[in-house]
């Protein structure tokens, strides 16, 4: 098993790299650490690369970087993939922070870039915008959520935090409740990406910042039951759904097998489980807008 430990940068194609890079720099508050007419790389204040935009005719997410245990050899990862019949390739000079990565294509068609060593980029504080703490998680549609979940757990060391029915999986690779979501839907389509904020007042800053810049909320504020994070969702200039959240459940001790106790938990202790869409509906907040619902998923009922 390849021990994935954290989320790296997600790479997106964009027909207008300059526009979307400006949005993430000026409104979201990420730092542009590399920029040309055909590529822009953005990082958080903590010096962690979060997003890469490359020139292209579409707006999909073809690549995702995942950080593995730094003591695990990428050559061993290549051998594990080979036993599964998966071809991999070692590449260098990926981004300013990632000098070497082992790349392969996962079962839903996303190119995964595994890296063991990471060099923090400058981490210069932008001084404006929302300024998230980190790139928190990313959700993809997959033809069958169960099959891609099995691959990520059995091959990459992810653990299942929760399910909603059998079509929506929440997977963790560290203490955060989820780092990757998989939802039954058109394979390979990115459903949403999420940035962690410090606390509830920081969510208010995000709402005010979005509002001042004419960016509407498409869902929230509210508190999810699955993961229990406070959330707001919006869309970026390339029409991607972007979540800003805080208060996500944490499993700080895997041997205990339950998430850190929180006042809003209904189960004590809160352990991974399978929710229904009804029981997993947000604890509070309005229903998602029609704009949020046009996300390409299927089998997911519309909740009031």
- Which CATH number applies to 134-293? 3.10.180.10
pLDDT of residue 303: 43
Residue 154 · residue 107 · CB < 8 Å: no
Banded pLDDT at 304 (limits 50, 70, 90): very low
Same fold, 4-115 and 134-293: yes
First vs last Cα of the chain: how many Å apart? 41
Express each pLDDT in 177-202 by its tens digit. Answer: 999 999 998 877 899 999 999 999 99
Burial of 75 (0-12, 13-18, 19+ CB in 10 A): exposed
Contacts of 43 (CB under 8 A, 6+ apart): 30, 31, 33, 49, 50, 97, 121, 122, 123
In the DSSP assignment, the letter for residue 272 is -
In the chain, what are the domain boundaries? 4-115, 134-293
The average pLDDT across 58-66 equals 96
Domain 4-115 has CATH 1.20.1250.20: no
Residue 232: CB atoms within 10 Å = 21
Helices (H) and strands (E) in the chain, counts: 5, 17
Q: Tell me how far apart the alpha carbons of residues 239 and 234 are, in angstroms, rounded to a whole number.
A: 9
Express each pLDDT in 240-280 by its tens digit. Answer: 999 999 999 999 999 999 999 999 999 999 999 999 999 99
Residue 167 CA to its chain's centroid (Å): 18
pLDDT of residue 188: 75
Express each pLDDT in 130-174 by its tens digit. Answer: 999 999 999 999 999 999 999 999 999 999 999 999 999 999 999
């Amino acid at each position: 098993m390849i021990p994935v430990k954290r989320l790296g940068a997600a790479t997106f194609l964009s027909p207008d790299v300059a526009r979307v890079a400006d949005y993430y720099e000026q409104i979201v508050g990420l730092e542009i650490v590399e920029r040309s007419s055909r590529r822009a790389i953005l990082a958080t204040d903590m010096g962690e690369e979060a997003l890469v935009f490359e020139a292209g005719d579409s707006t999909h997410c073809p690549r995702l970087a995942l950080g593995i245990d730094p003591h695990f050899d990428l050559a061993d990862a290549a051998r594990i993939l080979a036993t599964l019949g998966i071809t991999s390739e070692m590449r260098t000079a990926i981004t300013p922070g990632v000098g070497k990565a082992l790349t392969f294509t996962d079962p839903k068609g996303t190119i995964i870039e595994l890296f063991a060593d990471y060099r923090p980029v400058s981490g210069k504080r932008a001084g404006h915008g929302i300024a998230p703490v980190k790139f928190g998680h990313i959700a993809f549609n997959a033809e069958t959520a169960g099959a891609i979940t099995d691959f990520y757990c059995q091959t990459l060391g992810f653990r299942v935090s929760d399910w909603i029915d059998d079509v929506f999986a929440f997977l963790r690779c560290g203490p955060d409740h989820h780092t990757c979501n998989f939802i039954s839907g058109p394979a390979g389509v990115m459903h949403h990406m999420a940035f962690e904020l410090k606390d509830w007042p920081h969510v208010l800053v995000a709402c005010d910042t979005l509002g001042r810049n004419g960016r509407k909320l498409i869902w929230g504020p509210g508190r999810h039951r699955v993961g229990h994070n406070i959330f707001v969702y919006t869309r970026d200039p390339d029409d991607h759904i972007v979540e800003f959240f805080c208060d996500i459940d944490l499993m700080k001790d895997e041997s205990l097998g339950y998430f850190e106790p929180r006042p809003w938990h209904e189960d004590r202790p809160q352990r991974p489980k399978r929710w229904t869409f009804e029981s997993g509906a947000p604890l509070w907040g309005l229903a998602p807008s029609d704009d949020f619902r046009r996300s390409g998923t299927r089998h997911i009922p519309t909740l009031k």
